[in-house]
Amino acid sequence: MTLAGRNLTIGYSDRVVGRGLDVALKQGEVLALLGPNGGGKTTLLKTLLGILKPLAGEAQIDGRSLEAFSIRDRARRVAYVPQVHNPTFAFTVETVVLMGRTAHGGLFSRPSARDREVADRALDEFGIAHLKERPYTMISGGERQLVLLARALAQEPQFIVLDEPTASLDFGNQGKVMREIRALAASGHGVLFTTHDPNHALRTADRAYLLRDGACLAEGEVKRVLTSEQLQELYRAPIERLVDATTGASAFLPG
């Protein structure tokens, strides 16, 4: 199964943000979307999620137009994880994760035994079962991001889309979230995430998609696409690549 955009023109009623965009995500792989602020990343995500209608072209799930699916059917196939945010209501962690089950029942119906089983499994998957009775407002930013991932997993989707999943997280929690993204792909999910850090893409993604000024500069296997030259063109800034002589591992730094 594939989540894809075909020859997309994206934007809003008063302006075009990008044209001629082709992007595809298969189950079991991780795709990193990189680009500078204002380059069209969030608009592309919203179009693939069906939040925005394409101005031209088509967003698809397994070759079928996204518009052919009801909102509930889309939610059963594609889950969205926003950036960490400051919550307003002190729902328990368990309740937040159970919200992911609304795609499989009524919005106001009581959670079934099956719903609770799926939610408990998602909490266990991310190692946060011990937080289930804690108020969502009283846990750390890194823990909140794991809760949002667990909520997405509870939807039982084929695809998970994350908007800058490590934004505002400390160094340790960034690594934890990236490892969990890799684990989601290993369990058969297709994962698309946006990032400003090419090192996260290099270490976590299978493929990279470079977007600037609404145009795709490069797309493909991550080690082929993420080069100093490509990143310098993407960000229009000097980029230095460091390579460990012993392990061959590499990392990018601003020049």
| pLDDT tens track for 183-193 | 999 999 999 99
Residue 20 pLDDT: 96
Alpha-helical (H) ranges within 21-128 are 41-49, 71-77, 93-98, 113-125
State the Cα–Cα distance between residues 129 and 92, nearest whole angstrom: 12
Contacts of 164-170 spanning 24+ positions with Cβ under 8 A: 164/83, 164/193, 164/194, 164/195, 164/196, 165/81, 165/83, 165/193, 165/195, 166/195, 166/197, 166/200, 167/83, 167/84, 168/83, 168/84, 168/141, 169/84, 169/141, 169/142, 169/145, 170/141, 170/142
For residue 150, pLDDT over 90 is answered with: yes
Distance from first CA to last CA of the chain, Å, rounded? 40
% residues pLDDT > 70 (the chain): 97
Directed axis angle between helix 113-125 and helix 141-154, to 10°? 140
Residue 82 pLDDT: 85
State the Cα–Cα distance between residues 158 and 29, nearest whole angstrom: 11
| pLDDT tens track for 222-246 | 999 999 999 999 999 999 999 888 8
Lowest mean pLDDT segment, chosen from 41-45, 88-92, 112-116: 88-92
